[in-house]
Amino acid sequence: MLMGRVVGWFLIALTVIMASGDAVLALGPADYSGILTADVVTLLVGAAPEAAPEQSLISTLELAIMELPAWVVVGTVGTFLLIASRKRHKRFRFRRS
């Protein structure tokens, strides 16, 4: 659980850095082309993600996720990881007084 929280907070910090980088790119003099998730996957894996030849629901969803800004996807994953690995307090329903 501790590792999940540490990785979640790391992803949230990375999200802030990516969003600020996107803001700098948007305010720059050149044409705006944000950091897409497909670009980040290409940097991490070493190859561009390929679309499946058949148009199934999963391949359509994957294509939609790859076209989102990278900070949105990383922030969502970090938030879900923080929620999933949060400390849970034990509740006693029938506590004796």
Q: What is the pLDDT of residues 36-60, one digit of tens each?
A: 999 999 999 988 877 777 788 888 8
Q: How far is CA 30 from the centre of its chain?
A: 26
Low-confidence ranges of the chain (pLDDT < 70): 92-97
Instruction: Check residue 11 and give its pLDDT.
Output: 95
Longest CA–CA span in the chain (Å) reads 69
Residue 69 dihedral angles phi and psi, to the nearest 5°: -60, 145
Instruction: Check residue 30 and give its pLDDT.
Output: 82
Give the pTM.
0.79
Burial 50-76 (b: 16+ CB within 10 A, else e): eeeeeeeeeeeeeeeebeebbbbbbbe
